[in-house]
Amino acid sequence: MVTVWIGEFQTSHRRPDEVVVFDVLCGDFNFDNCSPDDLREQNHDIFEEYIDPCRAGPGKEKPWVIGTLIEQPMMYEDDVITPENLQRTLETEELRRQYISPPVPAVGLPLVYPLPDEPWVGRRIDYILYCQNSIAKQCKTEIEEFTFITQLAGLTDHIPVGLRLRVSDCSAE
């Protein structure tokens, strides 16, 4: 439904003289890209239209990605209660395994995670996606930086994400 709503919104609000220079979709999607139980969502058409900078493909994250959901009973532990401690924990795979929510197995099947030679990531349910197809033809969107933000440590079980895009005017080139 989100793709339908976005299309309806863009159609009803776009003005003829308007130049769209970026199109971003973000939020808590309540599914991840590592759980076998979320296989259907990992293959959703939204990922054909919008680019997820963290995603290598359905069910596979890029090597630098970390999960964004802290296990609720653990969110007040010393290792994650301050921004500095949370950052240190996120940078250490062994600690991430203790505090970031693990993947959800498919019903009736054992969970094999991570696959050999892949890092332990955990559940990333918070997304920032961007679309190149819906912006003005003379513009181009590029990622400058993707960040995992630790400043809200102890206040939420989510690790907020940030994205800085560079929008360039291709007609000036």
Instruction: Take residue 39 and report the two structure tokens written for it.
Output: 């296989």
pLDDT score for 134: 80
pLDDT at position 87 is: 97
Tens digit of pLDDT at every position of the chain (173 positions): 888 999 899 899 988 888 888 899 999 999 999 999 999 999 999 999 999 999 999 999 999 999 999 999 999 999 999 999 999 999 999 999 999 999 999 999 999 888 888 888 999 999 999 998 888 888 888 899 999 999 999 999 999 999 999 988 766 54
- Domain regions of the chain by residue span: 28-163
Three-class secondary structure of residue 96 per DSSP: helix
pLDDT value of position 169: 76
The catalytic site residues sit at: 158
